[in-house]
Amino acid sequence: MPSPTRYTGALKGKTALITGGACGIGRATAHLFAREGAAVVIADRNEPSGSAVAGEITAFGGRAIFVPANVTSAADCQRVVERAIQEFGAIHVLLNNAGIIRRASILELSEQDWDRVMAVNVKSVFLMSKSVIPSMEQAGGGSIINMASGWGLTGGPKAAVYCASKGAVVQLTKAMAIDHGPQKIRVNCICPGDTDTDMLHTEAQQLGEPKDRFLAEAARRPLGRVGQPEEIAQAALYLASDAASFVTGTALVVDGGGLAGSI
């Protein structure tokens, strides 16, 4: 389990925009980035939870705002970026974290299922990055972190559209790193394994499996447990910080050894 964190001010003076920041990995990362000195902009459709996270951060002396947004909308993405710049002056870090899952084979998927997962998991990365990059370039560079998955590197059962979407995120990350390196913008992705979030519990429901049995199966990896959102947040902090100044175009696997020997 994670040990108590010592904060170093690694993101002092920076502004971080986090999509899907109202819960799970996004919430944990918003808290960590704020404690490391960043001003945090949380974009999410869940207004009560997003506002609550911003309130939690300001309560401990951090700086944060919540902007309700549908990140599959170009207009909403642009509006979030404009609000972030208006409030904090620039954007130095973008975490494209918003994501959903639909556990099904292609024969079980509807066209609407396919379109929705691809829109949230892939199109949102394209739209938000497109809105952020010009201002990030004006700020002298920055770090874009895309949330992929271990299943973006290897396949999984009854997860056709999710695997397709996360594989697309991995390859989009690499292409963006090539295109925007000259602007001093680093682009990386994180490939988490099963992590204790609402999404993981939703998978059990979608598969019709008892939650306890599903979570026990998810823990079958070398470290013998699922991950915690705070552990994925630590990986995001590394990629956002100057400690990763020569890291771009990489897919960082954070999965307790789940893919060891698989790829």
Orientation angle between helical segments 160-180 and 124-138, nearest 10 degrees: 20
pLDDT tens track for 48-58: 999 999 999 99
CA atoms of 207 and 116, how far apart (whole Å): 18
pLDDT at 263: 63
Higher pLDDT pick, 250 / 198: 250
pLDDT at 1: 47
pLDDT at 6: 81
Orientation angle between helical segments 229-240 and 24-35, nearest 10 degrees: 50
Counting residues of the chain whose pLDDT is more than 90, the rounded percentage is 95
pTM equals 0.96
pLDDT at 207: 94
Is residue 162 within 8 Å of 103, Cβ to Cβ? yes
pLDDT at 4: 59
Show Cβ contacts of residue 135 under 8 Å, excluding neighbours closer than 6 positions: 81, 85, 90, 91
Residue 212 tokens, joined = 């306890």
**Containing H/E element for 41?**
strand 39-44
Of 133, 12, 15, which Cα lies nearest the Cα of 64?
15
Which domains are present in the chain? 15-193+228-254 (3.40.50.720)
Based on the residue annotation, tell me whether 162 is a catalytic residue of this protein.
yes
pLDDT tens track for 115-166: 999 999 999 999 999 999 999 999 999 999 999 999 999 999 999 999 999 9
Average pLDDT, the chain: 96
Residue 196 tokens, joined = 């204790």
**Containing H/E element for 95?**
strand 93-96
pLDDT of 5 strictly over 80? no
pLDDT tens track for 171-212: 999 999 999 999 999 999 999 999 999 999 899 899 999 999
Q: How many residues does the chain have?
A: 263
pLDDT tens track for 76-87: 999 999 999 999
Find the mean pLDDT for residues 112-116.
Answer: 98
Query: Which letter, b or e, does each residue of 37-59 get, where b requires 16 or more Cβ atoms within 10 Å of its Cβ?
Result: bbbbbbbbbbeebbbbbbeebee
Of 71, 82, 22, 80, which Cα lies nearest the Cα of 46?
22
pLDDT at 261: 79
Of 153, 49, 165, 45, which Cα lies nearest the Cα of 102?
165
CA atoms of 189 and 129, how far apart (whole Å): 13
Is residue 32 within 8 Å of 4, Cβ to Cβ? no
pLDDT of 217 strictly over 60? yes
Residue keyed to tokens 């947040």:
233
Among residues 80, 162, 164, 168, the one annotated as catalytic is 162
pLDDT tens track for 13-49: 999 999 999 999 999 999 999 999 999 999 999 999 9
The strand pair at 15-19 and 63-68 is best described as: unpaired
